[in-house]
Amino acid sequence: MGHEKCSHKTTKVSDGSWGAFHFLSFIGAAIYFISISGGGFWAVILAVLKAMVWPAYVVYHVLVLLGA
């Protein structure tokens, strides 16, 4: 039996701080949307879904304000 070479791949992730920022912004958006929802089951589900895509709302309203 010969010598077998074992190759290891190393992946460096350098966006950890941005991931933490996005996670905290998601939590904040979820708290906000849940607090203004009616409190029903489907209203809370919709609030969580809105929290997932809130940056799209921001970009849309910024573009509306800019008249684009």
Local confidence band at 22 (pLDDT 50, 70, 90 cut-offs): confident
Task: Show the DSSP H helices in the chain as ranges.
Answer: 16-36, 41-52, 54-66
Structure pTM? 0.64
| Main-chain phi, psi angles of 61, to 5 degrees | -70, -30
**What integer is the mean pLDDT of 10-34?**
85
Q: According to the model, what pLDDT value does residue 13 have?
A: 65
- The dihedral over CA atoms of 42, 52, 33, 23, expressed in degrees to the nearest 10, equals 130
d(CA 50, CA 37): 11
> What would the pLDDT profile of 40-67 be if each residue is shown by its tens digit?
999 999 999 999 998 888 899 999 999 9
C-alpha neighbours within 13 Å on the C-beta side of residue 16: 3
Note whether 42 and 29 are within 8 A (CB): no
